[in-house]
Structure 1
């Protein structure tokens, strides 16, 4: 009688497992041999590896091509902020709770979108992601459409010192990646994994063999949603900020866009050749009085102009950049400001001698004192 044996490992697989264990040990010790930038990069790689593994399980095996998994990423981040800010939970506990809540919220979502098939299912997941985004944008307690930042006391409660917090964040990302890879590996080697493999190969044939396709897909969807919510919480913990549109530095970007618009608006005031400027313009405009300013009273009309002048008169040690200064100077002062920037030290000395101003070497200061 012939006997058959089933082996689920080989010598190459065991050697790969040993190499993998050594690599994991080295990655665990990364805070002692890697810099801060390397830790942040590795942490992001681990988190994206986790998201990719989960999406591969969802779409590659269960056949659920979802383009709306970002909904659970944002949901996990918002749950982390809400549970830490309002419920007073520690960040580590809030991450686990975000996964549980992600699993719970995915149950009614799955019951709704599982009525769709193929491309309609993908569109339905995208619509659900938009519903999540618009819903969180209406929550004013979490910043509304502008988003919110994690309070500093919550961040400092994680660990003592910045290095310790960055190391903890890195270990959390590494632990999440190991958890996701382990869950996916064990799931695919279980009976449900065999069912998923059959569904991947031929869904119709798998159903004819007695596999409950809807229940198997539902289980995979809920599992991936819970883990995705946890990964989203970790991403938000690394960024320390969340917003419905994913703009981490929205105010800074708006400020940069505003400065860019001002630069384009006033770029015709700047000369194309800085080495051949009009050297007579400082002398011609140096005799103007402060009454030539827009309001005629010797003071600045706008608060922004006054703040620029205050910074130029010595309160800020660094010079103001030409593009930024041109956006704030009064129109009468811009020609001299350009001449001061484009001219030579001899021209600035001439203007300083004419005005008796010891600070004329500072870019734009003499122009502000007209």
Structure 2
């Protein structure tokens, strides 16, 4: 198939592209290469794709999804079979300082993707939602049928909005859409603003790591290979209208339209201090911990019920935290040349 991957120079985008190329798809990747974090890491991810034996089926175009005219031209010219939309302004805490970046990328950009799919006969749009849509929910594990009407960050609100916008296009235009609520993804080539990279960098430099909420937090850490397996399997299964959908008791994860939303995670929440311990073990070095209060916009715990996605795709997450962290630390040392 010919597949568009937005955010192809990003963490999940790069790994998804590699998986698609390996199995024989043609991939067009776009990314605006912004400086939310060091663009050199993005350039190096693209270089890693180019080093692979199947890179001849990959083309990269620097483009912003919020650029309406360029996006319209891209869709019209390329005629994609399917679209994997991963581009977004990421980060919960950054949304407190720069809300307009989220409106442009996550709202305007998403409309451009929806319009491109609608007007150019795209068979299936798979897009990144987020576990952050569960906001202040305390019922665990998080299930797709739970209400998600109380976001605690603008980032979360934009992801919830994406799900609503996708449903509208599925209903009005019959566009099959699948939203994936990602739970804390980690692994080689990860983002430098996320905990694994921040912690590893600080520990190696003998600097204290900030441990928020005094370590009383849990995250459903999910290794990148498990995430990508779920993404690619989802692309292959196009949703159809749910014949059993009950409008008297509507389930927000399904619809009378060709629309689905799934959690994608490991379904095994890990204490933050346990995750830090795994990094310490992989590095052979103990962390100096600076215990901090809870951050605005953050949540105490995330825990994915992934049973619906597993039933839908047959994919089950399998990489344990110790193994995943070791892979990440090995990559980190090689990439940054740390002894």
The two structures share one fold, judged by TM-score above 0.5: no
More contact order relative to length (CA 8 Å, sep ≥ 6): 1
**Structure ID, larger Rg:** 1
What range is the shorter-chain TM-score in? Answer: under 0.3
TM-score of the pair, normalised by structure 1: 0.18
TM-score of the pair, normalised by structure 2: 0.19
| Higher normalized strand content (fraction of residues) | 2
| Higher normalized helix content (fraction of residues) | 1
